[in-house]
Amino acid sequence: MTNTPHNIKCYDHLQEQFQNIFDDELITEICQNGQLKAYAAEKVIVDIGDEMKHFPLILKGSLKILTEDDEGKELLLYYLEVGDTCAITLTLDTHGKKSKIRAIAEEYVEILFLPVDRVDEWMVKYKKWRHFIMETYNYRLNEMLEAVDTLAFQNMEERLLKYLRDKSMVTGDNEIHNTHAQIANNLNSSRVVISRILAKLEINGRIKYSRNKIELLKF
């Protein structure tokens, strides 16, 4: 492997996250073919309608993956953390397929973008990579089904609590730094409804909140 700063940083990240999962040869190939990019929090990395030509692998930070309905209202599907990838990318290819999701940096994030054709080659060449992709696909599918179940069967208070717990787990912080309007947008609700539920949760001792910060007191 050529010892460029990019390759060294990439290799160190992958060794830390995947040394018990991937062979050294695969890690080297990933670094040689990947393009490492960094994004600030709240940056839109992939938007709905974008052409998908690369496969993302999260090396640092976290992303939130959303979709939207015909009226443009967003729905949070799941989060991606260090060592994760977006399985939806597997359903797309380099022949003009358009993204149906929006990926936004939840915090500062570093992503290794891999060419889709190389990802396909590794599915055949490396058994461990194939297992990783299939496990990722199954895990994300279950998360999306859970998101649908949550939307269909849970009331807004339960959905809001789940949203806060998930966000706290991803960031490793029991303080959520979002406005009520941002939360409402992610949950396909209204700011008034979210503010009313947050007030109720604070009275019940579940949270403590201010304009742009929510502290989870009881999980």
pLDDT in tens, 45-65: 989 888 877 888 998 899 988
Name the domain count of the chain: 2
Q: What is the CATH number of the domain that holds 13?
A: 2.60.120.10
Helices 191-203 and 156-171 pack at an angle, to 10 degrees, of 80
Last residue of a domain, one of 152, 185, 208: 152
State yes or no: pLDDT of 207 exceeds 50: yes
CB of 187 closer than 8 Å to CB of 163: yes
Residues 146-177 as b/e (b if ≥16 CB within 10 A, e otherwise) read: ebeebeeeeebbebbbbbbeebbebbeeeebe
Domain containing 203 equals: 155-216
Taking residues 93-99, report their average pLDDT.
Answer: 61
CA 142, 145, 148: angle at the middle one, nearest 5? Answer: 155
Weakest mean pLDDT among 35-44, 138-147, 189-198: 138-147
List 208's β-bridge partners, or say none: 215
Is residue 25 domain-shared with residue 132, that is, in the same domain?
yes
- The single-letter code of the amino acid at 42 is E
Q: What tokens does 156 get?
A: 């807004």
- DSSP-based helix, strand, coil % in the chain, nearest 5: 45, 25, 30
Q: How confident is the model at residue 17 (pLDDT cuts 50, 70, 90)?
A: confident
Is residue 169 domain-shared with residue 148, that is, in the same domain?
no
State yes or no: pLDDT of 94 exceeds 50: no
Is residue 52 domain-shared with residue 86, that is, in the same domain?
yes
Q: What is the CATH number of the domain that holds 193?
A: 1.10.10.10
DSSP letter, residue 8: H
Is residue 47 domain-shared with residue 73, that is, in the same domain?
yes
CB of 122 closer than 8 Å to CB of 16: no
Three-state secondary structure call for residue 86 = coil
CB of 10 closer than 8 Å to CB of 34: yes
